[in-house]
Each structure stands twice: as structure tokens, then as C-alpha cells.
Structure 1
Amino acid sequence: MTERNYQPGEFYDYPLIIKKLLNTPLIYAPDQEIVYRDKMRYTYRDLNERIHRLANALEKKGIQPGDTVAVFDYDSNRFLEAFFAVPMMGAVLQMVNWRLSADQIIYTINHAEAKLIVINTDFLPILETIREKLDNVEAVVVIAEHGTIPETRVAIDAVYEEMLADALPEYAFPDLDENTKATTFYTTGTTGDPKGVHFTHRQLMLHTLSAAVALGAYETIGRFRSDDVYMPITPMFHVHAWGLPYVATLLGVKQVYPGKYEPEMLLKLIANEKVTFSHCVPTVLQMIATSPSAKACDLSRWKVIIGGSKLSRGQAKAAKSLGITVYTGYGMSETCPLISLSVPPKQMKDWDEDRMLDIVVKTGLPLPLVEFEVLDDDGKPLPHDGMSAGEVVFRTPWLTRSYFKALEKTKALWQNGWLHSGDVGHIDENGYLQITDRVKDVIKSGGEWVSSLDLENILSQHDAVLESAAIGIPDEKWGERPMMIVVLKPDFVDKVTPDDLKQHMKQAAQDGKLPKYGVPDRYEFVDEIAKTSVGKLDKKVMRRLYR
């Protein structure tokens, strides 16, 4: 690495930039392994060299500081290499959500002004249909997922592994201004085009350091430390896989990347690579837990953060029965994303089940350097009494400062110095945040709020329920009434009726867990519940279907 000459007495203004994260694992754990499925295995020394080779190769393809590189891939070592090489050059990494519609992918790539695409061959059919509509893309690099390049109409400029092999193993990564834009991706809402969220080197560094402290410094049953084995099961295109690949790299842990999410492969990797720490949305945990192979796999050392959607008591109980330690993480695309964790204390192992479940399903305590409040309709903070509900707002140094090229949407996001989440929640006397709903998902019946998350949580505890979603449907008398959309466990199909579920909810109301006016009248059994591209319940689709 070349550096400028310093004058005597001139200090080095140490920048918080991503390349500094690599220093620590190369000292503490240079021979630790990074694994991709059952296909590739190498060390942190190799990772560092491949990052340098990737930067040289991208520069040779014309990528300069400020240019955007778009990546379509599964959770893989290649994505990890791009997490570092692209921003370390001073370029911008765009993580493309390949689950979006073709029109949305076209919009996001054009809006981000991507100049080069790195794409897994599995996604070439998507690119074939949109390539001619991409305004700024000058080159396409393909990742040969299965060892060969399929026939395609897309003009291919390079093959990833061949490109790295031909590149020089050293690159002079500059000391960037820490406020240089490093990453971007797009979040979809209920209406309009996807919104571009972006983060700087400084923001990613501070998020990494705070998450490492929150997960590793406190005496809890869910700690993440250097002796863990890490495997993300959250798409790396979604908010940097919650930023945890950066944390894992800083700690020098063994990292395992699963590629395409297949229950058998995930369980095989957990067993063979001795995975101890992961994160995912509830639907992925459910997919793994209900796999026939799960019962034969020792999951007693596996700690899992659940986010994206609420972790219900029923899901937490089912995971515990398999020996899995689960707890909640919370954040948004706009928050980089981690804001809070329900990190349970170590003594929780001795608690009874009800007390344990009460903690792990909470939204959690703020990470170091995070401040949050709940505000009333006039924008005033509400008391921390565990009951007073309002919109949740945040302050922390890693919140996105704006939506990319979207001034009006930014004005709605930031008000009076707080980032407005669009989530409804309350804070208790111990500082725990509990999200009770999205503002747009709150069900208002007869002038009273009914929490869809509470309804889903209570129904999840019925033995027959595999998954459920609560939505509000129009009602002539009450304005809106709650309705439950339910997937039954296979063993209970044709054995359980809507009246059985209604009785369960009535009993919860009698026990004081739910207001009587909140008991849903209608229960619709379905084979599958609509999900968004990142695995969350897609309530806008459900409302459209049932309204």
C-alpha cells in the first residue's frame, strides 16, 4: 500500500473506513476458514488476496471511485469479497434483490446508475429479459455457480474466477474520506418505486463496532465471539445481511456461506461445519425446524437471531424444543439495520419457559450508541410504562441520512431530528422496546387499536397453527375488524375448524392477554401465506385479496 508523505509533526487522521476492518482478522486469525457450501474453503489470508485481486480486476474493467457495481448472488464468499473490495476502492456496492419484479430490478439498477454487474449464472435468465433496458451498465461478469456458463443472450465480459486468477494480488487501497458512500440497496413499500438506501464507510464501521459490543461483551446465552462459527441465513442483498458479515470478519470467526437456501444443505452445514451462530426471518427458521432432517441434527449449540418479522411465542417454543437458542433482533433497511436486541441474560437458562419466552420475543434493548423513543400524535415522547404506544423514532450515527435522489420521501423519513420508523410500539420501565404493529397495519375497530402482532403471537400458541397473519378488513358497523389467515400443521388439516381457533382466541381474551373486542371473527385456512421478497408477511397483498 502506498501512502502520501507526512510532514514532521503532522498527525495521521485515522479514518473509519472498511479496509481497516481487515487488519484485525489478519493478525488474530489469518488461518481461520471461510467456507462456501461444500464447494470452496479458504483462509482469511486468501480472502485478503482475493479482495485485492477483485479490486484490480474491477479497475481493469473501468470501475473508478464513485462508480456503482451491482451484485446478483446468493450468500457466498464472492459476496463477502464484494462487501470489502468494492467500497474499499471508493466505489459503491449495490446489493441487488433478485426476488423483485423485472420492472423493479430495472428501476433500481438504473436509479443507482450501476456501471458493472456481477451475476451468478442462476440469475442470467432475469438479466436476459432486462439487459437492453439497463441504461448505464457497460460490463457483465458472471459467477459460474455450477462450473459452466449456460447459453445466454447476455454479452459476457468476464468469468469471476478467471478474472481473479488473471488479476494482480496487491491493490493500493486508498485512505478514503470516511463519509464516502460505500453501499446502496433498495427497499420496497406499499406504493411507488423502491427507495434507495445508502450508507457511508463511517456508518458501517460504527454499526459493526456497536453490534460486536452488543453481541459479545455482555454475559448472555446468545453471545457471538471469536470462537463461534457463523452462517448467515439472511440474504446478503438485504441490509448487508444485517451487517453481521462485517462483524464476523472483524472477529475472525469461521464463516460458512450456504448459497441457495435448501433445508437439507443448511442442516448439513450446521452439522458438518459445527455452526453456532446465525440469523434469519421466522419463515426460514420454520423451514429448517420442520425439515425431516432437523430431528436427526444436534442443534443444541445453535444460536439464532430472528428479525424481519415478529418472533412469536409459538415459534420460540418450537425452536427451544429442538435445542435452538433464539432471540429477537430489530431494525429497518434505513437503520443499517440493527437497533435493538433481546439478548437474554445467561441466568435465563434456569428460568421457567413462560418467563424465557416473554424476553426472547421482545423487540429488545438498544444497542450501544442507539437512542429510541415512542411519540404521540403531536410528536411528544410518551412515558416508558410498557403501555403508552406511539410511533417509534431513532437516533444513532449509522442511520441513512436520506433516500437516494428522493427529497420528498426523505422529508417524511426525518422529522425534528428523529428518523421515523413507521412502527408502533411502547417502551417499558426497564428500557425494552416492544413493536406492536406497523402504522399501516394497525387494525382500528370501533375506534380502538388492535395489534396484528399480538393476534399472530397468541394464535401461534395453538398446537394446530404453523403460521398466521392478522389483517383488518372493512366492517360496516365497526369500520374494521381483524381477520386471521392461517396455515395449519399437516397433522391438523381437516381436524381443526375456524371455531376451534376462535375459542382459543376467546380464552386468551378471558385470560387478559387480548381485549375482548380484539377477538377476530373470521379465520381463513390457506396453504401458503403471501411473503415479500425478503420473507416478511406481505400484508398489502393479503388486504387486497380479502378486502
Structure 2
Amino acid sequence: MTEKTYPPGEHYDYPLIIKKLLNTPLIYAPDQEIIYRDKLRYTYRDLKDRIHRLANGLEKRGINPGDTVAVFDYDSNRFLESFFAIPMMGAVLQMVNWRLSAEQILYTINHAEAKMILINSDFLPILENIREKLETVKTVVVIAENDEIPATSLDIDTVYEDMLADASSEYDFPDLDENTKATTFYTTGTTGDPKGVHFTHRQLVLHTLSVSIALASYDTLGRFRSDDVYMPMTPMFHVHAWGLPYVATLLGAKQVYPGKYEPEMLLKLIASENVTFSHCVPTILQMLTTSPAVKDFDLSRWKVIIGGAKLSKGLAKAAEDIGITIFTGYGMSETCPIISLATPKTHMTDIDDDTRLDIVVKTGLPLPLVEFETLDAEGKPFPHDGVSAGEVVFRAPWLTKSYFKAPDKTKELWQDGWLHSGDVGHIDEEGYLQITDRVKDVIKSGGEWVSSLDLENLMSQHEAVLESAAIGIPDEKWGERPMMLVMLKPEFRGKVSADDFKQYMKKAAEQGRLPRYGVPDRYEFVQEIPKTSVGKLDKKVIRQMYQ
């Protein structure tokens, strides 16, 4: 790198930038492996080489500091290379959610003003449908999945591996201002266009350091250290795969990227590569725990963070029953994302299994440098009594400062110096946060709040339930009444009734686990429950279906 000249007495103003995260693994673990499915394996030395080649290839094709490069890909080594090379050269990485509708994808790329697209060949049909409407994209580079490129009407500049092969393995990455924009992606809400969330180098580095401390330093379950084998099962387009590829790289851990999510491939990689640490949404965990193939694998060394949606006690127990160490991580797109982790404190070593399950399904304790509160309608904090529920608000040095080109939405996000989550919850005496609902999802029956998450958590513990969702439906007398959608396990179909579930919930109310007015009157059996593009229950669609 071309260094500036420093006169005597002038210090080096060390910037918190992404390229600095690469220094440590190249010293501590240069020969550690990074793996893609059963197709490719290379070392951290090779990762450095490929990051430099990628930057040179992008620059040759006109990418300059400040330009945006949009990436469509599975969880892969190519995405990891993009996590580093694109922001390190001063450009902006846009992680494209390929599960959105074509119109939403078109909006996000145009709104972000992307100049180039790197795209897995599996997703070329999506791009073909919108190419003529893209306003700023000049170049398309194809990632050849299975070393093949299908016939396409698109004007392709080059193939990803060819671009790297033709490029120099040395790139002069600059010392950027740490407040330089590094990444952007789009989060969808219940109404309106997707919102652009973005983060700086400084924010990503601080998030990486704090998550590393939270996962590695405390004497509790689920620790993530340099001798772990990491495999993400959260799309890398979703908030940097929760930022954990940056953590894994800083630690110099062995990394395994599974590509397209297929239960057999995931289980094969867990076994063959000795994967010990992952993260995913409940849907993926449920897919694995119910796979017939799971009985053939030893999962006793596997630690998994569940986020993106509520981890139910029933699913947590099902995971523990096959040996998985499980706990919750919580955050939002706007929080980079991890804000809290639901791990027991050191003094809780003697708790019984049921109490431990109650803890790991909580929203969790704040990461180092995170502050959160729950506020009443006047903006005053509620006491930390484990009961008083209000809107959850945050402060941390890595929270997004604004929505891209959306000042009105930013004013709703930030109020009185707090980022407003839109979640309702309470904080207990030990400092654990518990989200009880989204503000817009709270069921208000006869003037009293009923938590949809509490209802779903209770239903998950019934032996016949695979998955459930709770919504409020209009009621002339009470304003709203809770209703349950229920997916049954295959072996229980036709063997349980709506009345069976009502009696089950009534019994829970009699035991004090649910307010009596919260017992749902209606239970609908369904084959599938609508989900968002990142695996959350799509309450907006569900309400439209039943209202």
C-alpha cells in the first residue's frame, strides 16, 4: 500500500475500517480453511489473494469509490470476498434480497443507484425480467454456479472466476475515512417501498468487536472461538448474515459456506466439516429437526443462534433433544443487526433444564456498548420489573443513522436520541429483554393487550403442533379476538381438533401461563403459514387472509 509521509511527531490516526479486520487472521491462522459446499476449499492466504483480485477486476470495469455494486448470491465464498473487497476499495456493497418480488428488486437496485451487478447464474431469470428498467447498471458479471451459464438474453461482461483469474493479486487498498459508507440493503415493511439501510466501516468494525466479546468472553453456553467451525444458515443478503462472517474472519475460524439451503447438504457439511457454530431463522431449524436424515447425524457439538423470528420453547426443546445447543439472538435490519443474546449468566450454572429453556428463548441481554429501554406513551422508561411493557428503544455505536434518501421515515425511526424498534417488550431485574410483540401485531381485546408471541410460544409446546401463528381478528363485542393458525405434525393430522387446542389453552390460562381473556376462540388448520422473504411469519398477509 502506498503510505502517506508522516513528519516527526505526527501520529498515525488509526481508522476503524474493514481492511483492518483482515490483518489478524493472516497472522494467527493464514492456513485455516474456507469451504464452499463440497466444491471448493482454500486458505485465508487465498482469501486475501482473491479479495485483491476482485477489487482489481471491479476497478478495471469502472467501479470507483462511492459506486454501488449489487450482489445476488447464495451463502458462498464469493459473497465473503465481496463483503471485504467492495467496501475496502471505497465502494458500497448492496446485498440484494433475491426472494423479493421482481418489482421490489428493481426498486432497490434503482434506488441504491447500483452501477454493477454480480449475479449467480441461478438468478439470471430474475434479472432478465427487469434489465430494461434498470436505470444505473452498466455492467453484469455472472457467477457460474456448477460451472455453467444457461442461455440468457442478458449482455454479460464476464464470468466471476475469469475476472479474478485475469486480475492482479495486489491491490492498493486505501486508508479510508472510517465513516465511509460500506454496505447497504433494503428492508421491507407492511406498507410502502422497501427502505434502504446502510452502515459505515466504523459501525461494522465496532459491531464485529462487540459480538466477538459477547460470544467469546463470557462463561456461558454457545461460545464462539477461533477453534470453532462456522457455517452461516442465514442469507448473506440479510444484514451481512448478522455480521458473523466478519466475526469468523477476525477470529481466523474455519468457515463453511453451504450455498443453496438443502437439508441433506446442510447436514452433510455439519458432519463432514465438523461444524460447531451456526445461526438461522426458526424455519431452517425446523426444516432440519424434522428431516428424516437428522437421525443419522451427531449434532451434540453444534451451537446455533436463532434470530429473525421468535424461538419458541417447543422448537428449542426439539433442538436440544437431538443434541443442539440453542439460544436466541435479537436485532433488526436497522441495528446491524445483533443487539442482544439470550445466554444464562455465570451465576446461573445450577439452573434446571426447564429454567434454561425459559432463558434461551428470551430476547436476551444487551451486547457490550448496547443500551436499551422500554418506554411508555410519554417516552419515559418503564421499570425493569419483567412486567411493564412498552416500546423497545436502542442506543449503540453501530445503529443505522438514517434510511437512504428517506428523511421522513428517518424521523419516525429516531426520536429523542433513541432508535425506535416498533417492538413491544419488557426488561426484568436481571436485565433480560423480552419482546412480546410488534406494535402493529399486538392483539387488543376488550381494552387488554394479548401477546401473539406468548400464544405462539404456548402452542409450540403442544405435541401435535409443528408451527403456529396468532393474529387478532375483528370482533363486535371485544374489538379484536385472538385467532390461531396451526400447522400439525404429519402424524397428528386428523387426530386433533380445534376444541382440543382450546382446552389446551384454557388449561394454560388456569395455570397462570396466559390471561383468561387471551384464550383464542378460533383455530384454523393450515398446510402452510405465509412467511416473509427472510423467514418471518408474514402477519400482514395472514391478517389479509382472515379479516
By how many angstroms is 1:347 displaced? 7.6
1:5 is aligned to: 5
Q: CA-to-partner distance for each residue in 1:387-412, whole Å, 9 max, x for gaps?
A: 00000000000000000000000000
Match of 2:5, SS state, is: coil
State the TM-score, normalized to the length of structure 1.
0.99
By how many angstroms is 1:6 displaced? 1.1
Identity %: 80
Code of the aligned partner of 2:25: P
1:251 is aligned to: 251
2:486 is aligned to: 486
Distance between the aligned counterparts of 2:352 and 2:429, measured in 1?
A: 22
Matched-pair contact (CA < 8 Å) for 1:221–1:346:
no
Distance between the aligned counterparts of 1:164 and 1:374, measured in 2?
A: 49
2:73 is the alignment partner of 1:78: no
By how many angstroms is 1:146 displaced? 1.3
Match of 1:527, SS state, is: coil
By how many angstroms is 1:344 displaced? 2.7
By how many angstroms is 1:348 displaced? 6.2
1:67-466 equivalence runs, <5 A: 67-345=67-345, 351-466=351-466
By how many angstroms is 1:356 displaced? 1.2
Q: CA-to-partner distance for each residue in 1:228-258, whole Å, 9 max, x for gaps?
A: 0000000000000000000000000000000
Distance between the aligned counterparts of 2:45 and 2:85, measured in 1?
A: 14
Give the paired residue count: 547
Distance between the aligned counterparts of 1:473 and 1:196, measured in 2?
A: 32
Distance between the aligned counterparts of 2:64 and 2:125, measured in 1?
A: 28
Distance between the aligned counterparts of 1:456 and 1:506, measured in 2?
A: 14
By how many angstroms is 1:486 displaced? 0.6
Code of the aligned partner of 1:463: E
Could you list the runs of 5+ residues in structure 2 that have no partner in the other structure? none
By how many angstroms is 1:220 displaced? 1.0
Code of the aligned partner of 1:150: P
1:487-506 equivalence runs, <5 A: 487-506=487-506
2:65 is aligned to: 65
Match of 2:16, SS state, is: coil
Distance between the aligned counterparts of 1:379 and 1:152, measured in 2?
A: 55
State the TM-score, normalized to the length of structure 2.
0.99
Code of the aligned partner of 2:100: L
Q: CA-to-partner distance for each residue in 1:337-388, whole Å, 9 max, x for gaps?
A: 0000012347867532211111100100000000000000111111000000
- Rate the CA distance shift 1:286–1:348 in 2: closer, same or farther, 3 A: farther
2:47 is aligned to: 47
Matched-pair contact (CA < 8 Å) for 1:221–1:348:
no
Matched-pair contact (CA < 8 Å) for 1:279–1:306:
yes
Distance between the aligned counterparts of 1:76 and 1:510, measured in 2?
A: 50
Code of the aligned partner of 1:438: R
Code of the aligned partner of 2:426: H
Q: CA-to-partner distance for each residue in 1:473-501, whole Å, 9 max, x for gaps?
A: 00010000000001000000000101111
Distance between the aligned counterparts of 2:285 and 2:459, measured in 1?
A: 18
Q: CA-to-partner distance for each residue in 1:55-99, whole Å, 9 max, x for gaps?
A: 000000000000000000000000000000000000000000000
Distance between the aligned counterparts of 1:94 and 1:430, measured in 2?
A: 38
Distance between the aligned counterparts of 2:225 and 2:32, measured in 1?
A: 14
* Residues 77-86 or 344-353, more deviating: 344-353
Q: CA-to-partner distance for each residue in 1:398-455, whole Å, 9 max, x for gaps?
A: 0000000000000000000000000000000111000000000000000000000000
Distance between the aligned counterparts of 2:131 and 2:108, measured in 1?
A: 13
Matched-pair contact (CA < 8 Å) for 1:363–1:435:
yes
By how many angstroms is 1:148 displaced? 1.3
Match of 2:41, SS state, is: strand
Matched-pair contact (CA < 8 Å) for 1:392–1:423:
yes
Distance between the aligned counterparts of 1:24 and 1:2, measured in 2?
A: 20
- Rate the CA distance shift 1:376–1:345 in 2: closer, same or farther, 3 A: closer
Code of the aligned partner of 1:497: S
Code of the aligned partner of 2:115: K
Match of 2:123, SS state, is: helix
Q: Which runs of 4+ in 1 moved over 3 A?
A: 345-351
Match of 2:62, SS state, is: coil
Could you list the runs of 5+ residues in structure 1 that have no partner in the other structure? none
Match of 2:150, SS state, is: coil
Matched-pair contact (CA < 8 Å) for 1:221–1:345:
no
Match of 1:423, SS state, is: strand
